[in-house]
Structure formats: C-alpha cells, structure tokens
Amino acid sequence: MLDHLVRILPVTTIKDERGALGIVELARSCGFSASRFYFLYDVRKPRGGHAHRRLRQCFIAFAGRAEITVDSGSERRTIVLDSPEQALIINPMVWRDLDMTPDTVLGVLASEPYDEAEYIRDYETFTALALERIGNDCPVR
Ligand code: TYD
C-alpha cells in the first residue's frame, strides 16, 4: 500500500569543477506542479503528525538528515533523507512524522496552496478515512 503512496526519486545532479547542480523536473518526474515552496530549519522537536487529503509533496534534505516516518494507515516505514541527491514524493493520505537535527534544511515543494481544511491532524480520523478509501478502492494517484 505504501509503495503506491510514497516514492524516492533520484535527483538529477550535474557536477563539475564548480560544484553540483541538482534538478527536479516537477511535472515530468514528480507528477505534479508546485504552487508552494516552504522549508524547515533549526528544527528542535519532532514535527509533522498529520496527513493531507489532497496535497502532493516533494521533500529534499538540502543539508543534514531528516527521518520521515510515513504511514498509510495499515503500513508504516521510516525513510531517511540525508542527501540532496534524492527526493521523497508523498501522495495524499499519508500520515507523516518528521525528526531532524537543527542543522538540517528540509525543502518541501507542495502541489497546492496552504489550506488548513485539507489537513487531517487526528490519527484516528486518518486511519478511519484511509481504511474507507481502501474499501472503496478509491484511487490515490
Ligand atoms: P505544519 O504543516 O503543521 O508544519 P510541520 O508539518 O512542519 O510540522 O505547519 C505549522 C504551522 O505553519 C501551522 O500553523 C500552519 C502553518 N503553515 C502555513 O501557514 N503555511 C504553510 O505553507 C505551511 C506549510 C504551514
């Protein structure tokens, strides 16, 4: 189930004597276009603790190391992002918990503008909705 909801995407990286250039073609490789970019840094406590009803996101650790625990409601996995050469794509209806050190800079490209109404911040509500979707064979992609 989680394999349909999350995906690690190798970031195309062009390196030469001047340094490295990382490229993510959003529409082509992520399957969505971003309407918002935000980033987390100087993080001192766990974050996340929610799912999104509609939002698609692409996470890249520009510096440091982030542990992202993803949960479909029936399966849970921790993914470590510790290189700007890989991105994590998260589709809608994935609960996530984020742990990172203060030196970590985690960039997030999001498919939709911010809308608190599309967050699910209660885990019981999330699992009930996730099970309902599986039962209805509701497509998540
Ligand atoms: P939240 O998404 O809960 O952060 P995280 O997943 O990193 O723990 O957002 C924290 C607060 O910031 C919350 O009050 C909503 C607000 N916020 C915005 O106003 N706009 C945004 O684009 C984001 C991502 C959050």
Q: Residue 1 has what pLDDT?
A: 81
Q: Residue 133 has what pLDDT?
A: 81
Q: Residue 36 has what pLDDT?
A: 98
* Rounded Cα gap, residues 21 and 40, in angstroms: 21
**Is 124 within the bounds of a domain?**
yes
- Mean pLDDT for the stretch of residues 97-117: 98
How far, in Å, is the centroid of ligand 1 from the Cα of 137? 30
Question: Could you list the residue range(s) of the whole structural domain that residue 113 is in?
Answer: 2-135
How far, in Å, is the centroid of ligand 1 from the Cα of 128? 23
**Is 46 within the bounds of a domain?**
yes
Closest Cα to residue 57, out of 104, 102, 98, 1? 98
* Rounded Cα gap, residues 28 and 8, in angstroms: 15
**Is 141 within the bounds of a domain?**
no
**Is 125 within the bounds of a domain?**
yes
* Rounded Cα gap, residues 102 and 122, in angstroms: 26
Share of the chain above pLDDT 70, in %: 95
- Mean pLDDT for the stretch of residues 4-15: 97
Take residue 6 and report the two structure tokens written for it. Answer: 């999350």
CATH number of the domain that residue 94 is part of: 2.60.120.10
pTM for the complete prediction?
A: 0.94
**Is 140 within the bounds of a domain?**
no
Q: Give the number of domains in the chain.
A: 1
